[in-house]
Structure 1
Amino acid sequence: MPSSPLPSIQEMSVARRESGPYGITQGPDGALWFTLVHDGQIGRLSLDGHHVCHPLDSPSCGPCIITPGPDRALWFTRSRDHRIGRMTTDGEATSFPVPTPGCGPFGITSGPDGALWFTEMHTDKIGRITTDGSITEFSLPTKGAFASAITSGADGALWFTLNQAHALGRITVEGDVSIHPLPTPAAAPVGITRGADGAIWFVEIGAGQIGRMGMDGRIQEFPLPDRLAKPHAITADPTTGGCWFTEWAGNRLGHITPAGEIQEYDLPTPASEPHGLVRGPDGSIWVALELGKLLCLAP
């Protein structure tokens, strides 16, 4: 299937080219919040185009994934100094060290229990942090699995990708863990989201596929037209019932319907390195481009 040009698209420069916009989310204040992984900053973009970047206490802390918390603050992982960060909508930042040294936190999401849950890439653990900064860690029954992204499921549990174990993981709020291997060898899943249909949708960066796991445990995999596109992040779009995803190596944005039909869109700037994406408060799809820009695909 040939890719198509993006309809109604706008790119906005929000930082220097080397800053590395990476994760992006919708904040409780109606703005877009994003991480600058190479500059150690958190950015905010309002829908009128005004943006500001808030420096963290360490320019080399490596902020990665960002999510709104139940306390109306923004929470994010700091993968290089192994801390969990919190920022108010006024730009006031604090951080909390993860107990296990060298853990490399990456994915983070709000859980159904009023806490934040995060993955630890290097130590085979899933972490839980309360809004007052108290951290609990749960060990996985795997070694070298490289836990990556995490999302809250329709079943009241947390679901996460295990990039090097080529599997999905599930953890209850009590800390009970189960592992679900994927059908495709070397799938290397990364991004994960709860779809509008209640299923778990994920990307397989190693196999060039989009996956879906229903709450009945059935796994479906949908190959991309370009198997070398390296899909990276995925987010649900309740307006269509499908999901949007980024193709990091293919320099494209993709959409998949609940039935598995895929449409790809070429990005206007070559080698823009699309990473995180989110549906914004205006209904647009916003994408973090590592070359220092945010991209907006209007509905």
Structure 2
Amino acid sequence: MPSPSPSPTPSPEIHIQEYPVSDPAAGPYALTTGPDGALWYTLVHAGRIGRLVPGQEPVDHPLPGPDRGPTTITPGPDGALWFTATTGHRIGRITTTGEVTEFAPPTPGSGPFGITAGPDGALWFTETAADRIGRITPDGEITEFPLPVTGGFPSAITAGADGGLWFTLNQAGAVGRIGTDGTVVLHPLPTPDAGPVGIAAGPDGALWCVEIAAGQLARITPDGAVEEFPLPDRAARPHGLTVDTSGTVWFTEWGTARIGRRTPDGTLTTYDLPTPGSEPHGITVGPDGALWTALETGSLARIAPVGAGPTPG
């Protein structure tokens, strides 16, 4: 395991350590916990998928072709990891042993970005350049559903507790829901040009998203009611988020190299990452119960309450 960078505790509650997993040019972008108890992450600029077991050395897996630009990654229903290759216009599947298969959506140049496992045993993904939502079965059959908006730039996507798939429309300032039957409903955000990116489901059935252009969090109920929460630094450029089992929202501030936390009682706290300008993107609960975030400058950062458990060596 690479040695962690020096990491002063940024608060009495939270301890953060950074673990280098690539050179700074490779660009760790998004990450998830796999079925094998490892962290899996995309290296957007290097065109590779990485795997890290906390406490061990990272391993990289190359993709079949150049210029793939892997972005988001999620566990699939088949025991593999599924990812989007945005610049390569592919959906990828990687087994826990590193075997990669790729699938091309029917629409050329569609720019797939977000991906998540749906309640129907398929994977659902966004097509940023095609104004579509895609569905792919584990055997590679793809169906596309057009959206009722042009140039909306559908971005992140997540499964909701209501049985639908919820996604952000970064350029349309809206959050959308698509049912497994393909029915689409859009919910505009109150703030114009908010630029929503990451989205995640909470344990209470509501959805949360970050508004990168407005510097806010937003909570959306299944019936489409939206409430927005401004961040202390409106220029923080919030990018990714996850919601833990307690209902606490954790999010990354790409523009300020911070991690933010909003508890269910509304308390909002931010924490500086050890390395200035580290560009945090995706964030997830790791296999060790801590929060992990991907830093585009070449590391993964572990965020955990002090005393919550040992830090991997």
TM-score by length of 1: 0.97
SS at match of 1:193: strand
Residues 106-146 of structure 1, C-alpha deviation per residue, up to 9 Å, x if partnerless? 00000000000000001100000000000000000000000
Deviation at 1:5, TM superposition (A): 7.8
Cα separation, partners in 2 of 1:254 and 1:5, compared to 1, 3 Å? farther
Q: Distance in 2 between matches of 1:55 and 1:220?
A: 42
| Partner residue in 1 for 2:89 | 82
- Secondary structure (helix, strand or coil) at the match of 2:84 reads strand
The residue correspondences of 1:132-143 to structure 2 (distance < 5 A) are: 132-143=139-150
SS for the counterpart of 1:8 is strand
**Separation in 1, partners of 2:63, 2:224:** 41
C-alpha separation in 2, matches of 1:96 and 1:148:
19
Aligned-partner Cα distance in 2 for 1:194–1:86: 24
Partner of 2:70: 63
Partner Cα separation in structure 1 for residue 125 and residue 249 of structure 2:
22
Equivalent residue in structure 2 for 1:260, among 266, 275, 278: 266
CA distance 1:179–1:32, change in 2 (3 Å) = same
1:198, distance to aligned residue in structure 2 (A): 1.6
Deviation, 1:197, is 1.9
**Cα deviation per residue 1:82-113 (whole Å; 9 max; x = unaligned)?**
00000000000010011101100000000000
**Counterpart in 2 of 1:101?**
108
Q: Kindly report structure 1 stretches of 4+ aligned residues shifted beyond 3 Å.
A: 3-6
Paired amino acid for 2:114: G
Letter in 1 for 2:182: G
**Matching of residue 166 in structure 1 with residue 173 in structure 2:** yes
Query: What SS class does the counterpart of residue 288 from structure 1 fall into?
Result: strand
Q: Aligned residue for 1:244?
A: 250
Quote how far apart the aligned CAs of 1:59 are: 3.5
- In structure 2, what is the equivalent of residue 120 of structure 1? 127
Q: Bigger shift: 110-119 or 52-61?
A: 52-61
RMSD, aligned α-carbons:
1.2
2:228 matches 1:221: yes
Partner Cα distance (2:169, 2:158) in 1: 13
Q: Percent identity?
A: 62
Structure 1 residue 298: deviation in Å? Answer: 2.2
Match of 2:3 in 1: none
Is residue 181 of structure 1 aligned with residue 185 of structure 2?
no
In structure 2, what is the equivalent of residue 21 of structure 1?
28
Secondary structure, in 3 states, of the residue corresponding to 2:239?
A: strand
Q: Distance in 2 between matches of 1:42 and 1:5?
A: 34
Deviates more, 1:147-156 or 1:48-57: 48-57
AA partner of residue 193 (structure 1): A
Residue 51 of structure 1, CA deviation: 1.1
Residue in structure 1 matched with residue 308 of structure 2 by the alignment: none
Deviation at 1:6, TM superposition (A): 7.5
Structure 1 residues 3-60: Cα deviation after superposition (integer angstroms, max 9, x where no partner)? 9587222111101110000010000000000000000100000022321000111231
Cα pair 1:274 1:287 within 8 Å, conserved: yes
Is the Cα contact below 8 Å between 1:273 and 1:291 reproduced in 2? yes
Equivalent residues of 2:16, 2:273 under 8 A apart: no
Query: More displaced, 68-77 or 190-199?
Result: 190-199
Whole-Å separation in 1 of the counterparts to 2:33 and 2:264: 23
| 1:290 positional shift | 0.3
For residues 35-74 of structure 1, the aligned pairs below 5 Å read 35-74=42-81
Aligned: 1:209 with 2:223: no
For structure 2, the residue ranges without an aligned partner over 5 or more in a row are 1-9, 306-313
Secondary structure of the equivalent of 2:35?
coil
Secondary structure at the residue paired with 1:298?
Answer: strand
